[in-house]
């Protein structure tokens, strides 16, 4: 069954939590469960499935649905770096 939520936090070490729509709990996930090659960022909208592991429920088969530019800026802020600002070239 497919569920939806928002990435609450993603640690550069490769794990994070999804804030589940319509459910008060957050689900743990690992980077290797994200289908796209993109690194998840806080605020990304995702779809996922839930699987029971010995230590509890986890989000698996995560698909990033919507990642806005603002989300990317939040990610850079979260990991403590500033994105590269491209300069417009003067063709005059």
Tell which wins on pLDDT, 88 or 52.
52
With a CB cutoff of 8 Å and minimum separation 6, the contacts of 91 are none
Number of domains forming the structure of the chain: 1
In a domain, 36, yes or no: yes
The CATH number covering residue 9 comes to 2.40.50.140
Report the predicted TM-score, pTM, of the whole model to 2 decimal places.
0.71
Range of the domain at 59: 3-69
Q: In this model, does residue 82 exceed pLDDT 70? A: no
What does the pLDDT read at residue 3?
A: 95
In a domain, 76, yes or no: no
DSSP H/E element including 79? helix 69-79
In a domain, 84, yes or no: no
């Amino acid at each position: 069954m497919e569920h939806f939520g928002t990435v609450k936090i993603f640690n550069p070490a490769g794990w994070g939590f999804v804030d589940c729509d319509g459910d008060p709990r957050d689900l743990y996930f690992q980077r290797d469960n994200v289908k796209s090659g993109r690194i998840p960022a806080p605020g990304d909208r995702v779809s996922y499935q839930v699987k029971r592991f010995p230590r509890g429920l986890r989000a698996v088969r995560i698909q990033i649905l919507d990642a806005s530019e603002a989300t990317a800026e939040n990610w850079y802020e979260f990991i403590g770096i500033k994105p590269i600002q491209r300069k417009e070239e003067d063709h005059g």
